[in-house]
Structure 1
Amino acid sequence: MKWIVSVIAGLVFAFNAMAQSPTAAPQQKIDELLRLLQDPDVKAWLNSRKEAVPPAPGDTAAAGSNDLVKWETAARTRVHEVFSAIPAIPAEAVAAASRTRQQAISMGYAPVFVIFSGLVALGLLVEGLYRRRVGPRETLFGRLAPVGIFAGTTAIVFFAVEWPPLASVALLAYLSAFVAFRVVVALLSVAAIARPLRVRIKIIIGLICFAIATATIGEPLGMPPLAREALSYCFSVVGLLLVIETVWNTSSRARSWKAAVTAFLVALWLVWCLNMRGLFWIGVYALVLPSILNTVGRIAGTFTNDPASLRGILIVRGARATVIAAAVAWLALVWRLNPDTLGQRDPIVAALFYGALKSVLILVCADLLWQLTKGWIDRTLRGSAETASLPPADAARRARFRTLLPIFRNALAVVVAVMAALIVLAQLGVQIGPLIAGAGIFGVAIGFGSQTLVKDVISGVFYMLDDAFRVGEYIQAKDYKGTVEGFSLRSVRLRHHRGPVFTVPFGDLGAVQNMSRDWVIDKFRITVGFNTDIDKARKLTKKVGAELKEDAELGPLFIEPLKMKGVEEFADYGIVLSFAMTTVPGMQTYIRRKAYAKIRELFLANGITFAQPTVQVGGDEKDGGGAAAAAQAIRTQQASAATPTT
């Protein structure tokens, strides 16, 4: 601490000496003071003392008020000076044109207007030759290619000749404006815009290009700054009137909407006049950016045959993202190039502004990522819908895709939204660490308060991990049964075979009986008479199984053919025969109906009767009457089987 005291004492002594002596201090003392001020320890101590002094109450508010007053005074003065310079615009423009013309003539060149006309005529001539050679093309490339030929021709001639300095600046500015105007016209020609609106947009774009070129060459040609700004104000008034005329004469909306848009345009013009360029461009984006994005999306969609494919999404969404990124970059550049605006003087406003720009880019990237992933999932789901002609392993894999991908898509949407929101909040200056911790605590509280919901979600996760069922499979769980149509995070949707839909929470499913997995063994029974030949019935059943297996429609549905297992039991009225077959899931009922029809037809044709209840009525000759009745029944069945059908 002693050396700090010594330094302070030296500084105090030096300041006192300088204050007491009206003459210049000796050079030796000045050098000593400067050496002490450059010492790192002294600098650190002075900085610590500066930070330790608290700001006086009201300093921040006073500074903000002073900034506002200064900005208001400067804006008022600037507007007054610019409007005072408007009468001098014609004289200054004539003087600048005269200087350019005299310089060109003095160096042996024609006037700038003549040179510009010659370059444009040469470019149009070469462009016309190109059009005659390749023919008319209505695509975007076909419309932009001639403009590129024109620009390349004029650029070659322009850079090949050593023009006078002032003429070179004027030619470059106006040729660039002309090429930019033609590019915009080519883009508008492929956009779905009505002709009256398209014509007015071309006029407005032409005015903007000419105004920018004129403002660019003003300083090199020697126009005073106030005259240049006044000229820009005049161009802006003309542009404002053209835009208002376009709104009123091309829109079919209500007059109230037109009046509101007109008021908004006038407010934007006033904001531009007050040099609040950042706020001006934000208003312009709010007015025209949605239409520009739709137009750019339609134009980009012409470069792909399938907008839902990966390439289509990259082209369409990428084009829109590029437009948004360019708009954000331009807004940041305008904000950077106008440091004297009111918002730039407030560090909080500047930080929020740049944070908002970064947030827009983050949201654009998140949207592009989500659209690419969603497009891939949707294409995979569409491709996995057809499984009839695939091997069982591939069909099972596609069914699992149809089950898991919708859940993955929903979960991914939540993850992307949450991550994008957290990053945006971080860019806006919000401390997300406490927010994440609070969200964790809140999540625990929600978990305790909604145990049933948590149970359903966790049960669903384990059902998916166990691959218990898939979309399209028929299941039964407790009192619920039906075909699985879809999932959410907490429930499964079952379509009953009679039509009703059950939405069952996963926690209520319990044990699941899957009736559509891999294969199905279908068993059924038929009761025949006691006098049936069992071996003959088995052979006939084998014949039926072979016919069903050879059928073009039913054959692929069999895994094992129809067989008779044997005698199941002796019933009251006949012998019960057991049958079985193995088929693909879901088709066993259809195949069983076909088998019933063929078995009945073949059994009756070969004298095998089906048991049926009988009642015996009579006296002493009961046995003879029963036998006669049975014989008559057999003859009747054989006769009906032998009778041909028409």
Structure 2
Amino acid sequence: MPAIPNDMLETPATISGQLMQKLDELLSYFKNGFGEFLWNLIMVVAILMLAKLALALVSTMTKSAMQKEKYHRTPEQGKRVNTMMTLLRSAARYAIYFIAILLILREFNLFESMKGLVVTAGIGSLAIGFGAQSLVKDVVTGFFMMFENQFSVGDYIKTEDAEGTVEATAMRVTYLRTFEGEQVIIPNGSISRVVNYSRGDNVAVITISTAYEADTRAVLEVIERAVSRYARENPDLVKEPPIVQGITAFAASSVDIGVICKVNTMKQWQVERGMRLAVKEEFDRCGIEFPYPHVVTMQYTPSEHQPMQNFKHDEGTTRSDLPEWANVEDD
């Protein structure tokens, strides 16, 4: 018969006895090692305070760099510096949190056990087990986007899912602010295509619908006069004179005329609205109407020779104008 271990002999058989034993062990631990436990708590608080101080220091340094004029001599340089500072702030935040967690685990003698777990399970399998594959993808994609200078803080961009102004860039996500004021947080790994409206010149494009009955050549001259006057009055918006392309499409109830104009960066929407207003005002002065749906209401009057047939008849009556099977009554 094999020998029974001593720890099994000392373990109470009942649940209440086991619970009391664990309570006694816990009280014995606090009695004998309470000073060490209290010291560990003090060290944890000190580590958290130092981490918070380091985060505040990094935030102050990056904010100071973003406000210095020597780093903002040109708009592009300023955007680049702001982007790098926000990225540095994000990377420093992750690094400080990681170091603080390791120091806290070390204070409670958990670092060695965690290190043994990592070595046993393998770093790769542990990362995949915690779903860190997408995290690594977000971080790597974010670094490539920043170093390739695909966009900067302050640029107006469009991705697959959102469109807005870049507020900040982090290691894992990008923050956008839409026209409606909504903040959109996009993981960097999900960004595969970026349209940057803030790089280079833009083109304002409008389509003007005119009536089929109007003289198209005369309408083209009116549109040319209206958009040219608008360009002369707004030289700070328009970079090159507008071009009236002519007829671009024959719609169901209108002749569409296109106008394009090369404008300064991020001014295309303002110029489009301005040119539409200029064309509308010029059309009003010249008496040219825009096409719109016309509804004609006609009252129907039955003819005396062809009176309206009333298909409603009393139950039990027959109709001579209906087939024989239709006059059969249900039982």
TM range (shorter): 0.5 to 0.7
In the alignment, is residue 410 of structure 1 matched against residue 90 of structure 2?
yes
1:568 deviates by: 0.9
Q: In the alignment, which residue of structure 1 is the partner of 2:77?
A: 397
The separation in 2 between residues aligned to 1:608 and 1:519, in whole angstroms, is 33
Amino acid at match of 1:409: R
Amino acid at match of 1:495: R
| Equivalent residue for 1:565, pick from 245, 254, 271 | 245
Give the alignment of 1:54-133 within 5 angstroms.
none
1:451 deviates by: 0.8
Give the alignment of 1:298-337 within 5 angstroms.
none
Give the alignment of 1:222-371 within 5 angstroms.
371=57
The separation in 1 between residues aligned to 2:216 and 2:149, in whole angstroms, is 44
Pair 1:490–1:416, CA change in 2 (3 A)? closer
Between Structure 1 and Structure 2, whose CA radius of gyration is higher? 1
Pair 1:421–1:482, CA change in 2 (3 A)? closer
Counterpart secondary structure, 2:236: helix
The separation in 2 between residues aligned to 1:585 and 1:477, in whole angstroms, is 19
Counterpart secondary structure, 1:540: helix
Q: In the alignment, which residue of structure 2 is the partner of 1:486?
A: 168
Q: In the alignment, which residue of structure 1 is the partner of 2:282?
A: 602
1:590 deviates by: 2.4
Q: In the alignment, which residue of structure 1 is the partner of 2:227?
A: 545
1:539 deviates by: 3.8
The separation in 2 between residues aligned to 1:440 and 1:491, in whole angstroms, is 27
In the alignment, is residue 378 of structure 1 matched against residue 60 of structure 2?
no
Q: In the alignment, which residue of structure 2 is the partner of 1:509?
A: 191
- Residues 357-415 of structure 1 show CA distances to partners (whole Å, capped at 9, x for unaligned) of xxxxxx9xxx89x94x755532232247x98xx8xxx3223222222211123324666
1:494–1:501 contact (8 Å) kept in structure 2: yes
The separation in 1 between residues aligned to 2:91 and 2:136, in whole angstroms, is 15
Higher relative helix content: 1
| Equivalent residue for 1:499, pick from 181, 188, 191 | 181
Q: In the alignment, which residue of structure 2 is the partner of 1:448?
A: 128
2:178–2:184 contact (8 Å) kept in structure 1: yes
1:566 deviates by: 0.8
- Residues 460-514 of structure 1 show CA distances to partners (whole Å, capped at 9, x for unaligned) of 1222233222222233322333322222221112222223322221122232233
1:579 deviates by: 1.1
Pair 1:617–1:407, CA change in 2 (3 A)? closer
Gaps of 5+ in 1: 1-362, 423-433, 619-646
Pair 1:600–1:439, CA change in 2 (3 A)? farther
The separation in 2 between residues aligned to 1:613 and 1:559, in whole angstroms, is 37
Amino acid at match of 1:547: R
1:475–1:481 contact (8 Å) kept in structure 2: yes
Amino acid at match of 1:586: M
Counterpart secondary structure, 2:200: coil
The separation in 1 between residues aligned to 2:210 and 2:97, in whole angstroms, is 68
2:164–2:177 contact (8 Å) kept in structure 1: yes
In the alignment, is residue 589 of structure 1 matched against residue 308 of structure 2?
no
The separation in 2 between residues aligned to 1:508 and 1:375, in whole angstroms, is 31
Counterpart secondary structure, 2:245: strand
Pair 1:374–1:480, CA change in 2 (3 A)? closer
Pair 1:416–1:506, CA change in 2 (3 A)? closer
Gaps of 5+ in 2: 1-49, 103-111, 299-331
1:541–1:563 contact (8 Å) kept in structure 2: no
Q: In the alignment, which residue of structure 2 is the partner of 1:349?
A: none
- Residues 570-625 of structure 1 show CA distances to partners (whole Å, capped at 9, x for unaligned) of 2333321111122334332222222211111112312433223346799xxxxxxx
Coordinate RMSD, CA, aligned: 4.5
Pair 1:443–1:472, CA change in 2 (3 A)? farther
Pair 1:383–1:600, CA change in 2 (3 A)? farther
The separation in 2 between residues aligned to 1:439 and 1:380, in whole angstroms, is 42
Counterpart secondary structure, 2:204: strand
The separation in 1 between residues aligned to 2:84 and 2:126, in whole angstroms, is 26
The separation in 2 between residues aligned to 1:488 and 1:573, in whole angstroms, is 51
- Residues 204-262 of structure 1 show CA distances to partners (whole Å, capped at 9, x for unaligned) of xxxxxxxxxxxxxxxxxxxxxxxxxxxxxxxxxxxxxxxxxxxxxxxxxxxxxxxxxxx
Pair 1:413–1:478, CA change in 2 (3 A)? closer
Q: In the alignment, which residue of structure 1 is the partner of 2:143?
A: 461
- Residues 170-207 of structure 1 show CA distances to partners (whole Å, capped at 9, x for unaligned) of xxxxxxxxxxxxxxxxxxxxxxxxxxxxxxxxxxxxxx
The separation in 2 between residues aligned to 1:420 and 1:530, in whole angstroms, is 74
The separation in 2 between residues aligned to 1:468 and 1:527, in whole angstroms, is 37
1:558–1:584 contact (8 Å) kept in structure 2: yes
Higher relative strand content: 2
How many residues in Structure 1 have an aligned counterpart in Structure 2? Answer: 243
2:200–2:265 contact (8 Å) kept in structure 1: yes
1:520–1:588 contact (8 Å) kept in structure 2: yes
Q: In the alignment, which residue of structure 2 is the partner of 1:471?
A: 153
1:544–1:562 contact (8 Å) kept in structure 2: no
Higher RCO structure (Cα 8 Å, ≥6 apart): 2
TM-score normalized by the length of structure 1: 0.32
Counterpart secondary structure, 1:608: coil
1:483–1:495 contact (8 Å) kept in structure 2: yes
1:399–1:471 contact (8 Å) kept in structure 2: yes
TM-score normalized by the length of structure 2: 0.58
Pair 1:539–1:421, CA change in 2 (3 A)? same
1:525 deviates by: 0.9
The separation in 2 between residues aligned to 1:548 and 1:605, in whole angstroms, is 15
The separation in 1 between residues aligned to 2:281 and 2:293, in whole angstroms, is 21
Pair 1:374–1:574, CA change in 2 (3 A)? closer
In the alignment, is residue 527 of structure 1 matched against residue 209 of structure 2?
yes
The separation in 1 between residues aligned to 2:157 and 2:230, in whole angstroms, is 27
Amino acid at match of 1:455: K
The separation in 2 between residues aligned to 1:471 and 1:438, in whole angstroms, is 42
The separation in 2 between residues aligned to 1:595 and 1:541, in whole angstroms, is 9
2:199–2:265 contact (8 Å) kept in structure 1: yes
| Equivalent residue for 1:518, pick from 197, 200, 219 | 200
